[in-house]
Structure 1
C-alpha cells in the first residue's frame, strides 16, 4: 500500500529538528522508518509531517562513558550487532538485535526508534527493562533522563513529550560476573514475538544472584518488568532449580496477554514461563554461574 500524503523535512541539525517539531502540527519524527512507514502504509498512522533525523551528525555513536553504554538515536541494529564493546559486555543486546526482522530491516532500523515507537511487541523494550536502562529525551528546554520503568505508558504510548526526541539510551556498565540473554518465540524467522523474555543477572562473590532484571515481550499492552521473578532470583544460589522455577512461574503470573492467531492466553502464559527459565539459564552460564 501507499502511505497517505505528507510533507517531508530533513533537518541537518538537532536544534533544527526540534524547531520543526515545535512549529509543525501533527508531525512525527523518523530515524530509520522501519516501524513508522509500515504503519502509515496500513493507515494506522497518518501524520501530516515527517521529520527525518537520519542525516543529523553525531547521533550514531556507541561508546562506554561515565559508567554507561551510550547508544545514540541513529545507531542501527546492524551497528549494534557489529560493535566490539557490545559483543564483549552486553550479549543480551546481540541476542535482541539478531532476532529483529531481517538483515535489510536491521540495516535501517534504529535501537532508539524501537523504544520510541512504544510497541510492546518490539524486542528492545524488555531487554532495556532487564538492563535497567535510562532514556535521554531532548526538547526545547534541553535534556531530561527518564528511567526505563517510567518510559512505557501503554500501547504505542511513552513518556516522550510531543516536542521531544529520544536522543540516547544509557545502559549501566554491568559489574564482573554478569550475564544476560534474550529468548523469543516467533512463528517464523524475523516475525514479531509470540512471547519473549529478557534476563540480566549479576553474581556475588559467594555465587549467589546479587541482582536480577527480567523483562517480557508482547505479553501485555506495555512491556512488562516481572518484579516478582526478579525477587525470586535475587539471593538464590546460581543454578538453584527451585529458584529458577519460581522465577519462571512469577514471570508467567505477571504476563497479561490477549488471545490471537499466535495462541491462547494460557499458551502465551506458559511460553512466558518456559522462555524465562531458558533465559535465566543462559544468563547464568554467561555470568559464570
Structure 2
C-alpha cells in the first residue's frame, strides 16, 4: 500500500521550518525519524497535505550539558543512548536501559527522543522516562518559544499540549545525583510488539534509606503515568534484602509499592491478549522488579553490599 499524495519540503533552517508549520489550513506533519509517521501514511491512517523533513536543519542534532541539565536536540537518535556513557552518571544508565528496549537497531538509528514525545504513544519508553524525571519539552513556532513540563504535556493517546504549528526543538532532562540508582524493565508479548507494560525508576538513597523515588509507568493508562502513590510509599523506607528468587517476597516494600502502583496509580485498559486482572498483576510485578534493579544499580555504583539481581 502506498501513501496518498502529499507535498514535501526539506528546510535547511529553523525559521524556514517554522514558516512551513505555520500553514495551519493544511495537515502538516514533521518528519524526523519517521518510524511511526511513514507507517501510518502507508496504511492511510494519516494523509498529510504537507510533510516537513527537518533532517537537514542545522543544530537540532546536538546534545548539551549545562547547570545539571541535559538538553537533547530534536534530531538526537535513539541509538545515541545505547552506551551508558553517552550521558554522565545515572541518567546515562537509565537512558541506555530505555533505549535498548526500543524496537530494533535500524529503528534506533533513525528514530528520536523528541519524535517519540511528539507522537506520544502510550507505549513509548521515552514518554515514561520524561514523566518520571520531570522533563521539560521546548517547543517553537513562528510566534515564539515556550517550555512545557512533562506532567502537563501528555493529554491522551497521541494527544499533547503541543500546538499544530509548534515544533519540539529539544527535551531537557535533569542529571541525577551519584547516589541514585536506576532501572527500566519492559514486558511485551513478542519481541516485535509494543510494550504491554514498562516501568522506569530512579531511587535516591541516603545511608541505606530511600530519600526520593521516581517511577514512570508506560502503557498503564491512555498516557504515561507518574506513580505518585507508590513513590510516597517508598520515601523513608530501608529496602534491606530483596531475596534471591525471581519474585520479591510479598511483604517487601518494593512488592507493596508495585501493588499500590497497579491499584492506585495505573488505569490500564484491557487488551486482546491481556485482561485487566493480568495487566494489573503485570504492573505490580514489573514495578517491583524495576525498583529491585534500581537498588542493585545504586549498590553497584556506590560500593554498597547487597543482592545484585
TM bucket (normalised to shorter chain) is: over 0.9
Q: Which residue of 1 aligns with 2:237?
A: 236
CA distance, structure 1, for counterparts of residue 176 and residue 84 of structure 2: 17
CA distance in 1, matches of 2:191, 2:89: 25
Shift of 1:121: 1.3
The structure-2 alpha-carbon separation of the partners of 1:104 and 1:139, relative to structure 1 and needing over 3 Å to count, comes to same
Answering whether residue 4 of structure 2 is matched by residue 4 of structure 1, we say yes
CA contact (8 A) 2:182 2:201 kept: yes
Q: 2 CA distance for matches of 1:239 and 1:140?
A: 54
Normalising by structure 2, we get a TM-score of 0.89
**Unpaired runs of 5+ in structure 2?**
242-250, 305-309
What is the Cα deviation at residue 83 of structure 1?
Answer: 6.4
Which residues of 2 match residues 1-289 of structure 1 at below 5 A? 1-23=1-23, 25-82=26-83, 84-86=85-87, 88-90=89-91, 91-204=93-206, 206-239=207-240, 242-253=252-263, 254-288=265-299
Work out the CA distance in 2 between the residues paired with 1:266 and 1:257: 10
- Unaligned ranges ≥5, structure 1: none
TM norm structure 1: 0.95
Distance in 2 between residues matched to 1:68 and 1:230, nearest whole Å: 23
Assess if the C-alpha contact under 8 Å between 2:196 and 2:219 holds in 1: yes
Q: Which moved more, 1:232-241 or 1:45-54?
A: 232-241
| Worse overlay, 138-147 or 177-186 | 138-147
| SS in structure 2 at match of 1:107 | helix
Separation of aligned partners in 2, 1:76 and 1:286: 25
Q: Deviations over 1:118-148 (max 9, x none)?
A: 1101111111112221111112232211111
- Aligned residues of 1:130 and 1:212 also touching (Cα < 8 A): no
| Count of equivalent residues | 288
